[in-house]
A = this chain, B = another copy of it.
Amino acid sequence: MALQWLCRGVGAHSGWRGCSHTAQAQLPGKLVEALQAVVGSPNVSTGLAVREQHGRDESMHRCSPPDAVVWPQDVEQVSKLAGICYHHGVPIIPFSTGTGLEGGVTAVRGGVCFNLTRMDHITALSTEDFAVTVEPGVTRKALNSYLRDTGLWFPVDPGADASLCGMAATSASGTNAVRYGTMRHNVLNLQVVLADGRVLHTAGRGRHFRKSAAGYNLTGLFVGSEGTLGLITQATLRLHASPEAMVAAVCAFPSVEAAVGCTVQVLQAGIPIARIEFLDDVMMGACNRFSGLNYTVAPTLFLEFHGTPSTVREQVRQSEEIVQLNGGSDFAWAREPEARNKLWAARHSAWYAALALRPSSKGYSTDVCVPISQLPHIVGETHRDLQESGLTGPIVGHVGDGNFHCILVHDPTDPAESQRIQEFATRLARRALALDGTCTGEHGIGLGKRHLLREEVGELGMALMQQIKTVMDPKTLMNPGKVL
């Protein structure tokens, strides 16, 4: 198991090509010519540097470059390119910002990487209907800039400025999910190019209703399929009203139990909290050092409230009472945008703060999600495990959803430590599974968690997923080696 993510192609399906990391791309000449005929020569690259840029994401999974990278400009080109790959039996790997965390874009069986970032139009916006349609080159920050004067926004925020279509493909969520839901709740329709080039509109062409009971939920099936069922070339998303007022706060707790208990009570009180983020003492100390802050080094909650000025005041008043009941410290408030951004900057720099704990280190962020009541138990066990394993892994999480990340800081030149990290991540996932949780709340299965998915859903669940995959992708060309 340990070397699975260090060696290209191990664990992948029987291969169209070998597993070695070759400097020379090995595509049939005819295939490259056919790709060039669709998008023009400048939009096809087989150069090593370009291929290597497209063979990895932000995870610790080793780079597995594709054999070629293509830059289509529209769905017709994507369809034609897919048809060519299908004809030649060559893998297809969708790529946009490359900000994934589980090796989702690595080309473990080589093939053609579809870089979709030049399809960057916002193709439809209806402010009355709270709906927008975007191509894969549109990131969440770009969309929110575009929406700035409309009174609407798209709240799903995984941290990275990811492609919205990529976020649909990976079922992204993040800090605002406790109030606004994940991508599963906010995708209304998808345009998908299947492996053979056919173009599917999961909810019917051009449709953008808020609910439906018409037939099987194909949209829901593609959200979170990690590029293994088709290429998402357009996503229609549900927008939300921009809150008139936002207030953020930080408070420290005497224990993990107290911080989690506070979270449960805030939710039980029906307070429509927008964000409620947990940082353990290690993470808080790292953030202090990295961002020059002096918050108490203790289990900490970062909170954010959205609403009108008066409803936010009410939420804050109620939350303060609950915090006090749980032994939390006084709130450190941030009401103005600048102060709020500064406060959240500490939370958002958690990744770099963790890396700064050890010079020349790399990070691997693994995530699980459990029923909220199990959080104190699993966080306690995880602390003990980190200590016993001699690993550094500050914990930060979307506690309102029971979802947390352990940012494992390691020396990339030390294979023994990498192995210990993978073993730790597997133990963490199994701990979540034993507590009725999931092995990944938002990072996805990708390359490294396929064995855990099997433990999570069982043999029958896996068999049905495999059969559904075969329906959509009979030649197993779509992002092979991922999820299943």
Interface, chain A (partner B; CB < 8 A): 126-131, 151-152, 170-173, 177, 181-182, 184-185, 198-218, 220-221, 223-225, 229, 240-244, 264, 267-270, 272, 306-308, 310-311, 314-315, 318, 369-373, 401-403, 433, 436-445, 449, 452-453, 456-458, 460-462, 464-465, 467-469, 471-472, 483-484
Give the chain B neighbours of A449 by CB distance below 8 A: 214
Known A241-B267, A461-B215: A210·B456 in contact at CB below 8 Å = no
A184 touching B216 by the CB < 8 A rule?
Answer: no
- Min Cβ gap A465→B in Å is 5
The 18 listed contacts between A and B (C-beta, < 8 Å) are A127-B268, A171-B213, A177-B211, A199-B460, A206-B436, A207-B438, A208-B371, A210-B401, A211-B403, A211-B441, A213-B438, A215-B461, A215-B483, A216-B221, A218-B457, A272-B272, A308-B314, A464-B471
Chain B residue numbers with a CB within 8 Å of A311 are: 307, 310-311, 314-315
Closest B residue, CB atoms, query A400: B210
| CB-based contact A457/B240 at 8 Å | no
Known: A201-B461, A267-B241. A212 touches B308 (CB 8 A): no
Contacts of A212 in B (CB 8 A): 171, 369, 438, 440-441
Q: In the complex, what residue of chain B is closest to A129 when comparing beta carbons?
A: B371
Residues of chain B within 8 A of A267, CB atoms compared: 130, 241
A369 with B211: CB separation less than 8 A:
yes
Name which residue of chain B comes closest to A455, CB basis.
B204
Shortest CB–CB separation between residue A185 and chain B, in angstroms? 6
Chain B, Cβ-Cβ closest to A177 = B211
Complex contact B371–A204 (CB within 8 A): no
In contact, B456 and A211 (Cβ under 8 angstroms): no
**Assuming A200-B464, A372-B129, is B439 touching A214 (CB within 8 A)?**
yes
Residues of B within 8 A of A310 (CB): 310-311, 314
Q: How far is the CA of A185 from the CA of B220 in the complex (A)?
A: 11
CB distance from A144 to the nearest CB of B (A): 16
- Chain B residues lying within 8 Å of A471, measured Cβ to Cβ, are 464, 467-468, 471
Contacts of A181 in B (CB 8 A): 181, 185
List the B side residues contacting A206 at CB < 8 Å: 436
A209 touches B264 (CB 8 A): no
